[in-house]
Amino acid sequence: MTTEEKQVLRARDFWTSIALIAAALFFLWKTSSIPFFNTANAGVRSADWFNSAALVPFALFGALLLCGIGLLVIAIREGGATRALKAAGIGVDRAELARLGALAIILLSYIGALVPRVDFIISSALLITALFWGFHRGAAARRWIAVSGIAAAALYAVILHGPQAEWRAGDDDWVALGAWAILTVLMLADARRWPEGRRLAPIVAVLSAIVPFLLVSAMAFGFSQNVPARSGVLFSHIEVAYYTQFRPWWREMTSGDGD
């Protein structure tokens, strides 16, 4: 990548970071209406902050805010902000609008359609893969393939299972899982053509599944949270395994230590 291309990329990263920060702040503001204390969990009133339904969205949008701030810092350090603000060869042109539009579609598909209806691990893995493969190195073709993958899963979930009563159907989980698998295969195949791809793509493929798994497990079992799409095809099996196998085993181990 030449110096000119890097400056153009950092200028675009500046506008992208502004969009991420704005979206994160908006959803954090909306989430702030959910109380952290005096909440009800399974019909029982509780003053414990870790039982609040606001914990998961605060964590998600807080992470999104940190990502936006990190990208903004990188753009400023490497001169992207200066170039973007001066509009020296790059401004809010069609390419930049397309980039921001693609990002908006991905975030809206994830937050508005997938999170309430689709297994959290699957939908988050699809989001991470789409963002990395679609926006890394700024290739427009990859970006719109990634957008098509996550948008197709979101449209399927909304059109076929729009009402809340139908959110437990399960077939939208498999559609999203298929979209994630396709994007992952395309990412791994395409990674051979860029220098750092052979190293980064497999790491992203693994982390895209591990990070959501750890997050939702911590929320559900560590903090007793009502996580999104609890009946999802993956999380429902994890929950059963936790309560029927891991938890009894752990209690037996810890009680044995006490004896």
For the chain, the structural domain boundaries read 1-92, 117-251
Per-residue pLDDT tens for 205-230? 999 999 889 888 887 887 777 777 78
The Cα 180–Cα 174 span in angstroms is 10
Q: For all residues of the chain together, what is the average pLDDT?
A: 79
- Please state the pTM of the whole predicted model: 0.70
> Around Cβ 155, how many Cβ atoms within 10 Å?
13
Which range among 2-11, 51-60, 129-138, 205-214 has the greatest average pLDDT? 205-214
Backbone angles phi, psi at 196, to 5 degrees: -85, 0
Residues 157-171 have a mean pLDDT of 81
Per the rule left: phi > 0, alpha: psi between -120 and 50, beta: everything else, 39 is beta
Which tokens sit at 171? 């077939």
With contact defined as beta carbons under 8 Å apart, do 98 and 25 qualify? Answer: no
Q: What's the DSSP call for residue 102?
A: H
CA distances from 59 to 17, 156, 159, 198, 209 (A): 18, 26, 28, 31, 17
Per-residue pLDDT tens for 36-67? 555 554 444 444 555 566 666 777 778 888 88
